[in-house]
Amino acid sequence: MSTQLHIGKSVQPAARAAAAEAAGAALRGVAEPALAIALSAPGYEGPELALALSHELGSIPWVGCSAPAVFAGSALMREGLVLGVISSGEAYVGVGVAGPVSRDPIHAGAAAVARALDQMPARRPGRSRTLLLFVNAASGKGAEVVRGAVREGGAGVTWAGGGAGGDNLGPAHSALYARGAAFTDNAVAAALDLPGAVGVGMRHGWRPYGPPLMVTRSCGAVTAELEYEPAFELYRRIADRQGDTVSLESFASFAMTHPLGIPQADGDHVIRDPLSVEPDGALRFVTEVPDGSLVRLMQGTPKALLLAAREAADSARQQAGASPGGALVFDCVSRYLMLGEGFAEEVESFRAALGQAPMMGCLSFGEIGALGSGVPQFHNKTAVVLALPGDGS
């Protein structure tokens, strides 16, 4: 029995109409729906959309999140809804929700995954287990949620997911979906057990621009000091040595192409996206930069980012088989902002590498997965491609 992703979309402005149109297309001809994934662009009230989707999906378990934009195939949508239904007569599914993240993010991540896995049978040979994880990026605690989730789920499964967001990082513009409801301060996890091999590829395309630096004072998403100096001052001075001038006014545009990278054992880097300079010269990031860690300034070019996107999709496809049953993509919103009109080429890179596989995805505020053989972490400015089992897997 093959696994297939069936996709429906809608740009209807009313939640009930959008849910009906997207679900009608996604469920058409599907005999054995196992799990639905809903990705919504701005414009819907989370609770209203959750109620409408639950009405259309009935007893089918489903999860999802809001995002600045969503896509189905090569079509990028700044408004609307994309709904994917995974069909398989041999799938096992579990869904877990836990929180509040604001009080204990590590526990929330662990508990959401534990509740999802409690609904699953023991693992068997010849099958793949995947964990999808969603967190509200406005919390600034995505890395801690993932840390707790991995403690419970381990590194021996396939991980993918992302941070929810709207047009900005405000919590009112972000929603997570599960169990027929919308959440803002919870972690949502879905466990999926399928016959065959699930593939995942994760790449970013950034390379070192400055020397290694020690984070000498940091609290959560705010890094106050690098090498015992105000973080922005040292960031600015390193750029100056490379011939680039960075001021408070130009920081946002410069940081878009010069994030920080945390070196990993295999030589790759986990990217951290700078958001702003605090009044005291500290740097605020999308999520935490651990105190005591080594970091490097990074740089990227449109060509390098596009190549990384293609490599992520290629890797996922190779693992899943010659003809994947479908693909789910989490691609950082900052890559879209950097590439501008060229982002259409990034989406096309995913689609071309995946062949004829149905593809859906969203722009995320943070991406969840493992680089190479590393431990799953919360990333920024990175592309994650999950490919479902296909022919020859």
Q: Is the pLDDT of residue 31 over 80?
A: yes
Do 108 and 145 touch, CB atoms closer than 8 A? yes
Q: Are strands 62-66 and 33-40 parallel, antiparallel or unpaired?
A: parallel
Long-range contacts at 240-249 (CB < 8 A, ≥ 24 apart): 241/210, 242/209, 242/210, 248/277
- The angle subtended at Cα 70 by Cα 69 and Cα 75, nearest 5°, is 110
Q: What is the pLDDT of residue 266?
A: 86
Q: How far is Cα 143 from Cα 207, in angstroms, rounded to an integer?
A: 21
Query: Sign of torsion, CA 300 304 308 309?
Result: positive
CA dihedral 224, 230, 236, 239 (to 10 degrees): -80
Do 238 and 232 touch, CB atoms closer than 8 A? no
pLDDT band at 167; cut points 50, 70, 90? low
Question: What would the pLDDT profile of 345-382 be if each residue is shown by its tens digit?
Answer: 999 999 999 988 999 999 999 999 999 878 999 999 99
In angstroms and rounded to an integer, the radius of gyration of the C-alpha atoms of the chain is 20
Question: What would the pLDDT profile of 65-93 be if each residue is shown by its tens digit?
Answer: 999 999 999 889 999 999 999 999 999 99
pTM: 0.95
Q: What is the pLDDT of residue 372?
A: 80
Across the chain, what does the average pLDDT equal? 94
**What is the percent of the chain with per-residue pLDDT over 70, rounded to a whole number?**
97
Which residues sit opposite 387 in a β-bridge?
Answer: 199, 327
Q: How far is Cα 262 from Cα 255, in angstroms, rounded to an integer?
A: 16
Neighbours of 307 (CB within 10 A): 14
Q: Average pLDDT of 215-233?
A: 96
pLDDT band at 166; cut points 50, 70, 90? low
Q: How far is Cα 143 from Cα 375, in angstroms, rounded to an integer?
A: 12
Q: Average pLDDT of 9-31?
A: 97
Q: Is the pLDDT of residue 170 over 90?
A: no
Q: How many residues does the chain have?
A: 393
Q: What is the pLDDT of residue 140?
A: 87
Alpha carbon 93 to its chain centroid, in Å, reads: 20
Q: What is the pLDDT of residue 172?
A: 45
In Å, what is the CA distance from 193 to each residue of 218, 301, 387?
A: 39, 38, 13
Structural domains of the chain ordered from first start: 4-203+305-387 (no CATH), 208-299 (2.40.10)
- Give the residue from 10, 363, 328, 45 showing the smallest Cα distance to 174: 45
Rama region for 4: left / alpha / beta (φ>0; ψ in -120 to 50; rest): beta
